Every structure is written in C-alpha cells, then in structure tokens.
C-alpha cells in the first residue's frame, strides 16, 4: 500500500461497556461519538488501533 493512502473510519456502535484498551484505541483514532467519522493515514499504528475495535467500526478507503 502507498504511504499517502488514507482510511475513513466511522464509529458505528457506542463505547459503553467496552474495556479500557478498546476505548483508548477508538479515542486515539479521534472518534468521539457514534456515527462520527474521521480520515486517518493508513499506517501500521492506526491499523492496530482499528483491529482492536473492528466490531465497533466501519472502515473505507478515503
């Protein structure tokens, strides 16, 4: 993948009841509330945070 590619990440479910590392990963991506979307760089660090919370997120190419 190219280094300049981006991903659009959307929080589709609430963080209520999630364990701390999942909540931290979602917050680290910059997501604040359900249905909030952000565009992040496609880096291994961001991919790791996305993989932690895949059941809460929708990921698309930006």
Instruction: Give which of 20, 61, 23 is closest to 42, Cα–Cα.
Output: 61
Q: Hey, which residues does 38 pair with through a beta bridge?
A: 9
Domains of the chain as residue ranges with CATH? 6-61 (3.30.1390.20)
pLDDT band at residue 3 using 50, 70 and 90 as cut-offs = low
pLDDT in tens, 5-60: 999 999 999 999 999 999 999 999 999 999 999 999 999 999 999 999 999 999 99
Per the rule left: phi > 0, alpha: psi between -120 and 50, beta: everything else, 14 is beta
Strand ranges in the chain using DSSP code E only, listed in sequence order: 6-11, 37-41, 57-61
Task: Provide the 3-class DSSP secondary structure of residue 36.
Answer: coil
**What's the pLDDT at 36?**
97
* pLDDT score of 62: 87
**Which of 61, 62, 46, 60 is CA-nearest to residue 12?**
60
């Amino acid at each position: 993948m190219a280094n300049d590619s981006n991903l659009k990440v959307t929080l589709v479910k609430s963080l209520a009841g999630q364990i701390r590392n999942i909540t931290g990963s979602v917050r680290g991506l910059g997501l604040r509330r359900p249905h909030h979307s952000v565009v992040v760089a496609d880096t291994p660090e961001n991919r790791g945070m996305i993989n932690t919370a895949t059941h809460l997120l929708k990921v698309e190419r930006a």
